Each structure stands twice: as structure tokens, then as C-alpha cells.
Structure 1
Amino acid sequence: MSEIGRHALELREVRIPEPLPGEVLVKVAAVSLNYRDKLVIEGGMGLPLEFPFTPGSDFAGTVVALGENVTRFVEGERVIATFAPGWIDGPPLGDARTPPYRTLGGVHPGVLAEYVAFPQEWLVRAPETLSDAEASTLPCAGLTAWFGLVEKGRLHAGETVLVEGTGGVALFALQIAKAHGAQAIVVSGSADKLERAKALGADHGINRTTEDWVEAVYGLTGDYGVDHIVELVGGPHLAKAVQAAAINGKIYQIGVMEGFEIAAPVGPLMLKNVEVHGIGVGHRRALEDLVAATDRAGIKPVIDTRYPFSDLSAALDHLDRGPFGKIVIDLEGQ
């Protein structure tokens, strides 16, 4: 891209990068798209983009060359990206004035390319049980769900998780909930998608277009409410999450589909002792935990459609329509 806007997307032929000391060269096999990528391409999201700009943050590929002093990987290993390079563990990087948002496909270069050369610290080993396309979905969507429910929420068996929608983060949250022995409730406006979610293990499906989903939650739980809510809508929708939350319930604010300004009634928020966690994806150590859990528990990312590199525009259109799971750009054979 030479400027912000989908009209500026173009394929360019450039030299394959040489890995510098401490870097690895990766042949990219697959790139998973996030709604955030669309926002960056179309509006920049207020980020200090440097042009020419390569979008995309999530990939899987194979190490094909090493710079000097590389110790974490060897040639031939399969790797995936970390969404926020440099955030290894602990609190996010940044401060009160400048919240952290130094990510791939934003402040740092993106990954929609046949080859990328990155510092070895920016990568982790891919799950052994997943294909490249499946593994490419973990760095943002998978880790976001994991970081909320497991890292922050300490999810355990017997609790209830409510998931809003059937996109990438939502279906990861569903599978993570079931892997931990929790009950899962999915809310969607599509009867077909609800049936597909039940086939993945959802215990209950609520069609928000035909019933009040908060009242439906009360009915399903005997007025107990929900222990964990993966809030993927944003805007005033947070109010419904607060209403549906159980006493001491936890809400993970992730999505911004209905706006970046959120609102909720303070009464139930206070009286029910509800915790609201802002989730900005997660650190490398949590991603490594997710990789291990994926191999151990058999978590299988849901891919709606795989597009060739040349069909990036069609893939972005599909994001607008709302996929069931993830959209992946396939670079094999390019």
C-alpha cells in the first residue's frame, strides 16, 4: 500500500529480505485476516503507518534461513507470529499516557508477503497438530480468547461462558470453554450459524433476532447469569453483557463492531461486583501456552474460507459479511 485505502492495495515484487543478526527468514505459508486488518487498511486506525505499508499480523510459515546468533529456532521449523512483538510476559508495554499498541501490521511491518525476516523473539513454534492455515489463526483471534478466559479469567470446569457471535475469536472462545469443562452459550443472529456452533460443542444457542438474549440467559441459568462473557460487539452493547453477568461475573471487552465508546449501567455493574477486562490480545508466553493446549486438547481452529493471495479484496469483502470462523490467505504455490 502506498496510502490508506483499499484502492491502494497492490502486489509488488521485491527482493527477498536477508536476515540480520538475531533474525530468522520465514517462508510464509498462510496469513489469517482479522477485522482489525480491514480497519487498518481502510482507515489507518490512527496508527503511524510507514509507506509503502504491508498489512496483516498473523501468519504461519517455515524458517528457511538464520541470521547470526539465532538460538531459538533452526531451519525447517514451523513458526507463527506474535501479535505484539516484544511483549514476552507480564504487564503490557507502555504507560498511562501512551497505551501499548505496537503490533505487526501497524507500527511494525505486516506479514502479507511470501517471505518475512523478523527477530527470533517475535516468533513461537507452531502447534504440531495444526496445518499452516489453521496455525495462522492463533496469534490474534486464538490468543485473544485464551488471554481473556484463561490468563485473566482463570476459567475452570463447571463455569458458564457466553460468546457473542460466531467469528474467529468467538469460536476459539467456544472451544477453549469446552476444553476446560465449562458450559458454553452462543448468541447469534443466524439460526444456521447457531446450529453449526452446537455441532462444535455449544451447549445452548440463543437467536438474538427472535428473542431477548438477556432474558434467555436468565431462563437457561435459573437467573444465575453467566460467569464469563466474551464481549465482541462494543458500543452500548456492553450494557447487555452487564445485565447477563452473574454475581462476580467477568466480562472481556474485545470487539468494537458498534463503536469504540462503550456504555453500561453502573448499578448492576457495582451491585453484582462485575469485573470488566479490556483485552488487547496477549503476550508471547500466553501464546506458547495456547500452542501447548491446542496440541494437548485437540483444539481445531474453524476456517470459513481460504483465498489465494490475489483475492485479498474478496477476502476483505467476506470479512464485511461476517464469516463463520476465520478467513485465511493461502500463499502456498504463489
Structure 2
Amino acid sequence: MDDMTEAWRMTGFGLDKLVRGAVPLPSVGRRALLVAVRAVALNFKDLLLIDGKLPAMSLPFVPASDAVGEVVAIGSEVTRFRVGDRVLGQVIADWADGDGPPVLHRQTLGLSLPGVLARHVVFGEDAAVPAPASLGDEEAATLPIAALTAWSALVESGRSRPGTTVLIEGTGGVALFALQFALAFGQVPILLSRHADKLERARMLGARLCLDTGANPDWSAQVRTLRGGRGVDHVLELIGGANLRQSIETVAAGGLVSLIGQLAGTELAVPTPVLTRNRITLQGIATGSRRQFEHMNVAIEALGVRPVIDAVYPFEAVHEAFDHQRRGPFGKVVISMG
């Protein structure tokens, strides 16, 4: 194998500072996997990093965290994988099981660890999972953040059961995975979007209760009307900022809000009397553990869940892919290595 590969690296902040070039092939430690990347999926956090709104390691830096690929070499002490296996990287690399490390994101792909927007990457043996055989490369690449975050919120942390009403905000990757999981497990999803055309596409995925927040900016009252005045059992807060106020006002007594997104900013507006009077639980969600990732992948195969991909770009068109991500995709934007 040649001792060089190719990667997109940030040489500064801003998309114009993201450049493609030859880089040394990463070395493989005793308990590591060298992976030939087949596809990469983008996330909102990747844009934050490129825009200089998240701290990165020293520049130049390879961004992005979600990738699927084929194991092409293994370290001398690797036992969980073999050359030829198709794997996904665990984004929080030191979260194998349980509640996770005391401080998350100290070992995070594409943030505190080099990212995956390259033709070859290294995953630790304990920070990789087999890719679901039922999914193609472009589909599998979407799972590490978007799918696992939705799974963690609804299944691992959501106290969900059949008949639970869950409010899902938006039509991005996390939202559409949440919609599919909710439907698969007999929950009742209510989907919000300010784009009427995206709601029409969501209806084709099975979303029956949809609300156009562009036409109804004070949407909490409309949601309660849909629920006969009771409110919803669980909200997936994917916008953040001032939007959290309406989310809390929408939750039924004893309900749950899973805080995931920060599209509207990192400062929260919380109506404290409603939160305390109605005994509402507010929890933060940060993807999930490797064990949860493995459980989710088994369920994806059993349930026949298919990731929603809005567009696929070639490795040479990464700037165009990030432009699409910034516009707000319906589902996921994926980069294929070809």
C-alpha cells in the first residue's frame, strides 16, 4: 500500500480554507484499524467547526465524524475485526457502554480527534462497530450521529412505549430517524417544520400529524389542540434557543424534553413555572455509547429502517456538499468516495 492518501483539511476557518490534498497514510497502533473510507455523512456540527464556532485541534485539521469503510489493515492485538470487515466509527471514541466518560467530547471524531473526511482513517478497535449488512455504504454512513442520537433520545433515554406521543422538530437527519423509530415502535409522532414542501415529503414516510410552523409561529397552542388540550409526552428539541420555551409549554404534565439541537443558539429560554408546576424533565442528549450503537444497528436490520438521504456528492465536490448542508437538507447529505 502506498504511504500517502488524500484528505480534505481545514487550513483556517471558513469553507474557502477547506482544501484537498495528499497526506501521509495514518499509522496503525496495536489495537487499531486502518479503514478505507467508502462514504462520509455531514452534520451541523461540522459546519460549526468549519465556521470557527467550535474549538478544533491545531490546524490543518480533517473535519467530519461519520464514516463507513472497509478494514484494510489491523494492529497486532486486534481481536474484534478482520481485514475486509465493513465498519462504522463510534463518534465519542471512549464511550463503550454505561453512562460514558465523566467529560464527553475529549475523544470525539472530527472535534478533539482527527475527522474522517479522508480516503483512509484509523479507528480504535473499541471505537468501531460492524455496519448493518442491509444498508449500502451511503446509507450506513448516516448512522453514527443522526441515527444514534434519535435512538438514544427515544429508546435508551426516552421512557417510550407504544402510544407515547412524541413531538419532533424539523426534517433533518435526527428528526427523520426519530420519525422512523417512533413509527416502528408504535409511538405517535407529531412533526414540525417551517417548510410545507418538506412536510409533504415527510407524510410519504408515514408522518400523519404535521404542523407548518411557518404558517403557525406560535405552534404550541396548535399542538395542544391536536392532542385535545393534553400536550405531548415527549419533545425532541432540535432547535434550541428561544424555541425551548414553546417546547416546554407543549409538554403534558410529567412529560420529557430531550435537548439535542442548537440551531437557534446555545442560550436557552426556559419558562420555569411551567417546568416545575408540570414536573417536566429536561435532559440533554449526546449521541450514545458503542453498545447502544450495536443495539440500534440490530434493530435497524430487524425493522427494515432505511436512512433518508437528500443528496450524495463525490469526494471532489465537498464544498458543494457543505453548501447543501448549510441550506438545510431533508435527511442527510452524504459524500461518496466513488
Scaled by the length of structure 1, what TM-score is found?
A: 0.95
1:82 maps to what in 2?
A: 90
- Distance in 2, matches of 1:307 and 1:80, equals 19
1:128 maps to what in 2?
A: 133
2:24 maps to what in 1?
A: 15
Shift of 1:94: 2.5
1:278 maps to what in 2?
A: 284
Aligned CA distance change for structure 1 residues 205 and 323 (closer, same or farther; 3 Å)? same
Match of 1:164 among 169, 178, 188: 169
- Distance in 2, matches of 1:74 and 1:116, equals 16
Q: Which shows bigger deviation, 13-22 or 246-255?
A: 13-22
Aligned CA distance change for structure 1 residues 290 and 302 (closer, same or farther; 3 Å)? same
C-alpha RMSD of matched pairs (Å):
1.2
Residue 109 of structure 1 aligns with an amino acid whose one-letter code is P
Residue 95 of structure 2 aligns with an amino acid whose one-letter code is W
2:12 maps to what in 1?
A: 3
Residue 229 of structure 1 aligns with an amino acid whose one-letter code is V
Q: 3-state DSSP class of the match of 2:19?
A: coil
Contact in 2 for aligned 1:83/1:139 (Cα 8 Å) = yes
The correspondence of residues 28-47 of structure 1 with structure 2, limited to 5 A, is 28-45=37-54, 47=55
Match of 1:186 among 191, 201, 224: 191
Deviations 1:105-144 (A, max 9, x none): 0110100000112211111000111111111111001111
- Distance in 2, matches of 1:219 and 1:44, equals 38
- Distance in 1, matches of 2:283 and 2:292, equals 16
2:181 maps to what in 1?
A: 176
Contact in 1 for aligned 2:69/2:87 (Cα 8 Å) = yes
2:65 maps to what in 1?
A: 57
Q: Structure 2: where are the runs of 5+ without partners?
A: 1-9
- Distance in 2, matches of 1:72 and 1:50, equals 32
- Distance in 2, matches of 1:118 and 1:31, equals 14
Q: Which shows bigger deviation, 127-136 or 17-26?
A: 17-26
Task: Confirm whether residue 108 of structure 1 aligns to residue 113 of structure 2.
Answer: yes
Shift of 1:236: 1.0
Residue 182 of structure 2 aligns with an amino acid whose one-letter code is A
- Distance in 2, matches of 1:15 and 1:256, equals 35
1:324 maps to what in 2?
A: 330
Residue 65 of structure 1 aligns with an amino acid whose one-letter code is A
Deviations 1:268-307 (A, max 9, x none): 1111111111111111111111111100111111000001
Contact in 2 for aligned 1:4/1:44 (Cα 8 Å) = no
Scaled by the length of structure 2, what TM-score is found?
A: 0.94
Q: 3-state DSSP class of the match of 1:13?
A: strand
- Distance in 1, matches of 2:264 and 2:121, equals 34
Q: 3-state DSSP class of the match of 1:59?
A: strand
2:239 maps to what in 1?
A: 233
1:155 maps to what in 2?
A: 160
1:288 maps to what in 2?
A: 294
1:68 maps to what in 2?
A: 76
Shift of 1:101: 4.5
Residue 180 of structure 2 aligns with an amino acid whose one-letter code is Q
Shift of 1:44: 4.6
Contact in 2 for aligned 1:66/1:75 (Cα 8 Å) = yes
2:215 maps to what in 1?
A: 210
Shift of 1:100: 4.2
- Distance in 1, matches of 2:287 and 2:233, equals 20
Contact in 2 for aligned 1:94/1:100 (Cα 8 Å) = no
Q: 3-state DSSP class of the match of 1:51?
A: coil
Aligned residues: 328
- Distance in 2, matches of 1:30 and 1:122, equals 18
Match of 1:245 among 226, 251, 255: 251
1:223 maps to what in 2?
A: 229
- Distance in 1, matches of 2:336 and 2:80, equals 26
1:93 maps to what in 2?
A: 101
- Distance in 1, matches of 2:187 and 2:161, equals 7
Q: 3-state DSSP class of the match of 1:14?
A: strand
1:314 maps to what in 2?
A: 320
Contact in 1 for aligned 2:64/2:116 (Cα 8 Å) = yes
- Distance in 1, matches of 2:187 and 2:226, equals 15
- Distance in 2, matches of 1:270 and 1:154, equals 19
2:148 maps to what in 1?
A: 143
